[in-house]
Amino acid sequence: MGSPMARKAILGGICVDTGQYLGLPLTNLVHTFIGVAGANRDAEPLCKLLAWTEPCNQINGISCNSAFLRDINSVISVIRSIYDTIVGNIACDGQSVSSINGQNDEIVLKNYSHPMIIYATQDIIYRIVQGLKN
């Protein structure tokens, strides 16, 4: 849930569930946003298992088309794996669960688990931040 929460913190505005003002956008301070194995559209495997829990609700959760995920859709890059068993691969709308509306780049890895995407992609992240192509 780190990627969607970080994006909302950067975007600021109104909290979708409490209506609380989170502050002005910080977008002018962010050169590049990289979502790494993020549940930016859905986390189907997780939410099927934990549908009754707070992280998967339709207001501020990471379930498909929640108010929060609709609210948070510069340079945006996404790194994902087709073998991610935590957030999954395809969302309810037929798109990648990790894709972000307006993204500029998407790197699709094979044979990477969710933890591997997070902990073994530093070289890719560095190249993106430096403006280098993979």
Give the model confidence (pLDDT) of 8-51 as tens digits. 888 898 888 788 999 998 888 887 788 888 777 667 777 777 76
DSSP code for 102 = T
The pTM is what? 0.60
Residue 96: how many CB atoms within 10 A of its CB? 22
DSSP code for 111 = S
